[in-house]
Homo-oligomer: A and B are copies of this chain.
Amino acid sequence: MKKLYWLFVLSFSSLFVSAQGGMPNEDAWMIRKIYDKSLTEGQCYPWLHFLTKKIGNRISGSPQSFAAVEFTRQMLDTLGLDSVWLMPCVVPHWSRGNKSIAKIVGSKIGDVDMKCLALGGSVATPAEGILANVVEVKSLEEVEKLGKANVEGKIVFFNRPMDNTQLNTFSAYGGAVDQRGSGASVAAKYGAVAVLVRSMTTRLDDVPHSGGVNYQEDVPKIAAIAISANDAEKLSDLLKTGKTNVFVKADCKWLKEKNSYNVIGEIKGSEYPNEVIVVGGHLDSWDVGEGAHDDGAGCMQSMDVLNIIKKAGIKPKRTIRCVLFMNEENGLRGGKAYGEYVKNSKEKHIVAIESDAGGFTPRGFECESINENFNTYLKNMQEWLPLLEPYGLSIKRGGSGADISPMRPHKVFLIGLRPDSQRYFDLHHTEIDTFEMVNKRELELGTASMTSLIYLLDKYGLK
């Protein structure tokens, strides 16, 4: 242990005394200071405690979403920023109503209540529920192949699991989530009366995962309900032995749209106040659990970036703006409102960074942009790697984040924080996405890594 310790000290020291990668030592020292401050004076963890435990989950339009706006506005107000303001946006308001039901009925193992959650945005079933025969499929294409003859009047059960051999669980999610997003409308096209969807998770457990369903406008809307992976396995086993009936009931409804807000705080740039670097996450969550990793973590980290910039004594040349977007989960209205703002504002948005992949140990950043200079910018940013690699960070081409995507047409350079992805889909959109699942140090390292990159972006700009 001792030996290891000295090797570690040594490797950091060499970073400071030599000008590795041509970067000034000053930058190495400042990044070390940013990490020190984040790991000792960071606020993201206690803030997240309040957000999750005193406010809880906060679907757009809900009273809790308004509490989250007010809480974060007040916390930003404590940081001595140059301005803190709310950007209005009108948001949809969906309510799941009474607990949904998905029950295997009259099977050889009797009646089985499956652990389920209506998908976000689902319509209700008729008040008396629906009892129907189930047909299992593994893909949208399989529904098309089965056609009306095999689907009409039935409940279609989408049961393709996430591919656990994918190293990056987001890739596995991307390979399975079409069932959740589009399954209901594809099935309804052939006369299905409801859909069950296997939860989007890498685990076999009893935890159902919600998440959005997207209806096509030209097809009847049918109820869409996620069941736990264990229940999906059970139902699939039963179906192998013969016809199986399931009773489903969902009580969801759309309420009136509400006036809501993005929450914004900023430090004005000393030299180029008109050039803006955005860092953010989304303040809304689904209506289960506490929205801790998704995306309380990203919001608290983004606020903490401003805190750490202040604490480290950095005086940014450009404007650093924290934006907590409303309504990522079911409408992206906050992101779209901010996109409109970028379009109409006289400010020049150079970079936007989003943290919306959980509060786990950061592994690096992914970048994208339609800016004609993207490749040059990226290449030049990668020259900072000698400063960031000691902290386990990479800079790669890739995706960014949903909330900042409406800035894409405006040629903003978009960056997504990429934490270790192994645990994310254990808890994504579930009752167990709670404060207890967040590790303090891992969360703080997210703040530190974004602050470090912003420090460099602010100092050197995109080149």
Contact = CB atoms under 8 A, between A and B. Distances in A.
Given A2-B174, A392-B167, A392-B363, A423 B442 contact: yes
A166 interface: yes
A420 B361 contact: yes
Contacts of A247: none
A440 B440 CA distance: 21
Given A167-B35, A171-B5, A173-B1, A203 B392 contact: no
Contact of A40 (B4, B165, B168): B165
Interface in A1-48: 1-5, 7-9, 35-36, 39-40
B164 A39 contact: yes
Interface in A181-217: 202-203
B175 A5 contact: yes
A174 B5 contact: yes
B392 A35 contact: no
Contacts of A36: 165
Contacts of A177: 1
B397 A1 contact: no
Interface in A29-78: 35-36, 39-40
Contact of A4 (B167, B168, B361, B441): B168
Contacts of A164: 39-40, 441
Contacts of A422: 361, 439, 441-442, 445
Interface in A367-413: 390-392, 397-399
A423 B443 CA distance: 11
Contacts of A166: 8
A152 interface: no
B170 A4 contact: yes
Contacts of A398: 4, 7
A431 interface: no
A440 B422 CA distance: 9
A304 to B, nearest CB: 15
A176 to B, nearest CB: 10
A393 to B, nearest CB: 11
A166 to B, nearest CB: 7
A166 B422 CA distance: 23
Interface in A437-456: 439-442, 445
A426 interface: yes
Most buried by B among A35, A40, A164, A422: A422
A442 B166 CA distance: 13
A439 B420 contact: no
Contacts of A1: 170-171, 173-174, 177, 399
Contacts of A167: 8, 35, 390-392, 445
A380 to B, nearest CB: 21
9 contacts: A1-B174, A4-B170, A4-B174, A8-B167, A39-B164, A40-B165, A167-B445, A203-B440, A420-B420
